[in-house]
Amino acid sequence: MSINIRSLRHLVVPGLFLVLFASILWCYFNHFAVIQTRNGYRIYHIDLADTPAERAKGLMFRRSLPQRYGMLFVFPNERPRQFWMKNTFVPLDIAFFDRAGNIVNFHRAEPCHSIPCPVYASSGPARWVLETNPGHADDFEKLLFYY
């Protein structure tokens, strides 16, 4: 049995277009951030919190967080930031980045079950804040870009 290459062309070309279209849709409906670490680069799937309402809710009421997943808080300006863990059920790393994307500092934050909750503050002005699973921010150096 022989395979006719020309007949495969009718399958390959539409298949390539389907893969390209699916990739474009995935990028459009899913956000990601690329972080430079001491050991290379790490890509995170993220939810963007770029409105006051989204930033106020954050990751509240989530019962779990997949690996390499997080929420990127995008602020219109750079200034000292403070976060707390009220109504947050999972422990998080909270990483603060300045306007150049350099890490300012990070905190390992635990869920808060009673008020008053601890406040986790940036040690300097921050423009972006990334919340991820604990243990991820230890080697963060720079937020390279997000989409």
* pLDDT at residue number 93: 97
The CATH number of the structural domain formed by 31-146 is: 2.60.120.1140
* pLDDT at residue number 113: 85
**Separation between Cα atoms, residue 114 and residue 139, nearest integer Å:** 31
pLDDT in tens, 67-114: 999 999 999 999 999 999 999 999 999 999 999 999 999 999 999 988
**Separation between Cα atoms, residue 142 and residue 147, nearest integer Å:** 15
* pLDDT at residue number 126: 98
pTM: predicted TM-score of the whole model, two decimal places: 0.80
**Separation between Cα atoms, residue 114 and residue 50, nearest integer Å:** 27
Helix and strand numbers (H, E) in the chain are 2, 9
* Residue 25 pLDDT > 50: no
* Residue 13 pLDDT > 50: yes
Nearest alpha carbon to residue 33 among 24, 41, 43: 43
Every domain of the chain and the residues it spans: 31-146
